[in-house]
Structure 1
Amino acid sequence: MSIKSVLGSAAALIAVSDARAAGTELESIEYVNICDVYGSGYFYIPGTETCLRIGGYVRSQIGLGDVGSYDGARTFDARTGKDQGTWWNSTRLAFKTWTGQGTELGILKTYTETRLNFGTRNGLQSPQNYAFNSDIALTFAWIQLGGLRLGKDWSAFDSFIGYAGNVLNDKIAPYGDFDTNVIQYYFDADNGFSAVVSLEEGSGVVGTIDSYVPHFVGGARYTQGWGAIASVVAYDTNYDSVAGKIRIDVIVADQLSLFGMIGYGSNGKLNDDSANVVDANGRGFYRQWGGNWALWAGGTYLFDKKTSVNLRFSGDQFKNYGVAANVVYTLVPGFTATAEIDYDHYGNFGVGMVDPSNVNWTKADKKDSVGGVLSFQRSF
């Protein structure tokens, strides 16, 4: 033992002796305990039986072109006033929390996700591509006890059956709206069969319920080693409109997985403007695609543990077609780079019925567009 070690130990003993002699009690140290019941990253909140996990991601994206949600950024030259194209750029911070606690009525869980965004986009009143802070968005905030879930979630019409591929721009031929308050019940038979019943408020001008009757969503799924088959149906109470989707996922090999999904929605009373209120896109909250039917198909191929390729095709009755393809590369664990290119063909965007004789139906010029994005995301 060195002289420094001896002197250090002696000094520590003297300090403890002085504290006790002065009648001062040393504060006990309460260490954080790991909780692995609900997965990695959880720890016990000191003094409770509640397990907490904190996470999120930081994302930076830059892109150009004119495809769906990547609509080409336009601006005026600061010196000449000439209208010209430019890049768009966005940065997002997403903060997430998870909690879990065992109770006599089942597992009590919560999940929250809050998103903050800064970036450029064309404004509604001006073509200038200004950069600014967007509003804080509460994406998720729900409580679940056993199979009962309450709070802010994405509609079960989308989340239960699955999203349209592992691509960034998956809204070419949209497959449903998202934000809503919910009262849901999930059932899992532990043999591959699961189901959901969801009462939903919707959101937006034409999506939020306008009476005491909520929107209704029901779904069922069967999952096995080969993949899964699922279906979901939704009733839009605002417009007496019904929409449904059927999806199949197939695991072809360890490196390759494929999916296909079809959707069909009735028109209901989407053209009813007796109250001078017309759905701007003629599709309500659930049937967001053009016309009665739509389809989506694609897959993922894993080259290795770091690299994957994703491809997605979509189309609907109004002849709106799109193709999205990307390469995702993990630079280091938790940090990924995605390079994506997208193509779409705008056919007929209509309001209400497909029949062109309907006065509420409009026909847009056909347009072929290409765009792309480069995205970097650090997840934690």
Structure 2
Amino acid sequence: MPRYEGARTHDVQDGRDQATWRKNARFDLKTWTGQETELGTLKTYTEIRFNFGSRNAYSGPDSPQNYAFNKGVTLNFAWIQLGGLRVGKDESAFDAFIGYAGNVIQDTLVPYGDFDTNVVQYYFDAGNGFSAVVSLEEGSGVKGTIDSYVPHIVGGVKYTQGWGAITGVVAYDSNYEEVAGKVRLDVRASDALSLFAMAGYGTDDNLTDPTSAIPAGGRGFYKQWGGNWAVWGGGTYKFNEKTSFNAQLSYDEWKNFGVAANVAYDIVPGLTITAEVDYLHAGKFDDADFSNWTNADKKDSVGGVLRFKRSF
């Protein structure tokens, strides 16, 4: 099977491969509302993203693989919440409740779960550092969207104190009837240094069954890492009020290994520039059934990202 050739594109269709930059410009439109009612705070949140950038897709040896175009509009969030009850389009509680894998741009070099889904969920906050969530989710995509009346189910608990937090989540994938879970420890070592460690484990008998109606290649909506287990770790060190260093390491049972590190600098309030370097080792690179989760064209890949972000 052909592999994606990274940022290479043909030079005016003459058959020569030329290296070039990948570029993307994004505008995020976010809205918030909130009002107090007799049943608790009534909130809404929406986020719509508009993107223009390079194609970044392999479409044949005679096609321009990296041309720039309007990529369309995506609805990333659109939910209503009354008290602890939330309904609408959100990111899965399997990721949002436990936390994402570090303050790096490419935090899914070893993936830790899918994101987009419709939800019906309830958050509980005891007010003493203990909180919990139960989430019924639709999933998304060919493999992830529920194929019956049975939703995916996610549950999680968290205990937060001044030193940090410990969190656990568990998810049931109703399509493949498999279970995945993650535990995470966050530690505030000092005012400048914060660290995290996260481990995941999931069953995969049906996910690795090639006779399934839709073979999953070992990765479901929740257990997206390779094999049964995976680990992530890293942290943030703030040099001063404007500059921070962020790093993440990730590894799974299929010997996929990722390293991401960046320096983020606030030029002025509301404008941040982030320079990041990423490394990926694809453990099952030569196995077409299990390596197609990555678009890397080499077993070992190195890349970088330079991001300018304006927030207001």
TM-score by length of 1: 0.76
User: Aligned-pair distance for 1:273?
Assistant: 5.0
Deviating more after overlay: 140-149 vs 117-126: 117-126
C-alpha distance in 1, partners of 2:116/2:46? Answer: 13
Aligned counterpart, 1:288: 224
Residue 203 of structure 2, aligned match among 263, 266, 272: 266
Residue 367 of structure 1, aligned match among 257, 274, 299: 299
Residues 137 and 200 of structure 1, relative CA distance in 2, 3 Å threshold = same
Aligned counterpart, 1:107: 41
Residue 158 of structure 1, aligned match among 77, 95, 99: 95
Residues 362 and 378 of structure 1, relative CA distance in 2, 3 Å threshold = closer
C-alpha distance in 2, partners of 1:106/1:213? Answer: 29
Letter in 1 for 2:309: Q
Residues 181 and 71 of structure 1, relative CA distance in 2, 3 Å threshold = farther
Moved over 3 A (4+): 271-276, 359-366
Asked if the contact 2:5–2:58 (Cα under 8 Å) also holds between the matched residues in 1, the reply is no
Asked if the contact 1:264–1:293 (Cα under 8 Å) also holds between the matched residues in 2, the reply is yes
Letter in 2 for 1:141: A
Q: Any unmatched runs of 5+ in structure 2?
A: none
Asked if the contact 2:180–2:201 (Cα under 8 Å) also holds between the matched residues in 1, the reply is yes
Aligned counterpart, 1:88: 22
C-alpha distance in 1, partners of 2:236/2:223? Answer: 26
Asked if the contact 2:281–2:299 (Cα under 8 Å) also holds between the matched residues in 1, the reply is yes
User: Aligned-pair distance for 1:71?
Assistant: 7.7
Residue 187 of structure 2, aligned match among 231, 250, 267: 250
Residues 93 and 360 of structure 1, relative CA distance in 2, 3 Å threshold = closer
Residues 177 and 311 of structure 1, relative CA distance in 2, 3 Å threshold = same
Q: Is 2:40 the counterpart of 1:97?
A: no
Letter in 2 for 1:313: L
Counterpart secondary structure, 1:136: strand
Letter in 1 for 2:239: F
User: Aligned-pair distance for 1:337?
Assistant: 0.3
C-alpha distance in 1, partners of 2:266/2:251? Answer: 31
Counterpart secondary structure, 2:141: coil
Asked if the contact 2:95–2:113 (Cα under 8 Å) also holds between the matched residues in 1, the reply is yes
Asked if the contact 2:185–2:197 (Cα under 8 Å) also holds between the matched residues in 1, the reply is yes
Alpha-carbon deviations, 1:320-364, whole Å to 9, x = none?
00111000000000000000001111112698xxxxxxx966799
Aligned counterpart, 1:231: 168
The residue correspondences of 1:195-206 to structure 2 (distance < 5 A) are: 195-206=132-143
Q: Is 2:244 the counterpart of 1:308?
A: yes
Q: Which has the larger radius of gyration?
A: 1
Letter in 2 for 1:329: Y
Residues 262 and 124 of structure 1, relative CA distance in 2, 3 Å threshold = same
C-alpha distance in 2, partners of 1:272/1:135? Answer: 35
Letter in 2 for 1:238: N
User: Aligned-pair distance for 1:276?
Assistant: 3.7
Letter in 2 for 1:296: W
User: Aligned-pair distance for 1:274?
Assistant: 4.7
Instruction: Give the root-mean-square deviation of aligned CA atoms.
Output: 2.1
Letter in 2 for 1:123: A
Counterpart secondary structure, 2:143: coil
Residues 289 and 275 of structure 1, relative CA distance in 2, 3 Å threshold = closer
The residue correspondences of 1:146-225 to structure 2 (distance < 5 A) are: 146-225=83-162
Query: How many residue pairs were aligned?
Result: 303
C-alpha distance in 2, partners of 1:257/1:193? Answer: 20
Identical-pair percentage: 67
Letter in 1 for 2:108: K
Counterpart secondary structure, 1:129: coil
User: Aligned-pair distance for 1:83?
Assistant: 1.5
Letter in 2 for 1:165: G
TM-score by length of 2: 0.92
User: Aligned-pair distance for 1:269?
Assistant: 1.6
C-alpha distance in 2, partners of 1:151/1:361? Answer: 33
User: Aligned-pair distance for 1:294?
Assistant: 0.4
Asked if the contact 2:249–2:260 (Cα under 8 Å) also holds between the matched residues in 1, the reply is yes
Residues 314 and 206 of structure 1, relative CA distance in 2, 3 Å threshold = same
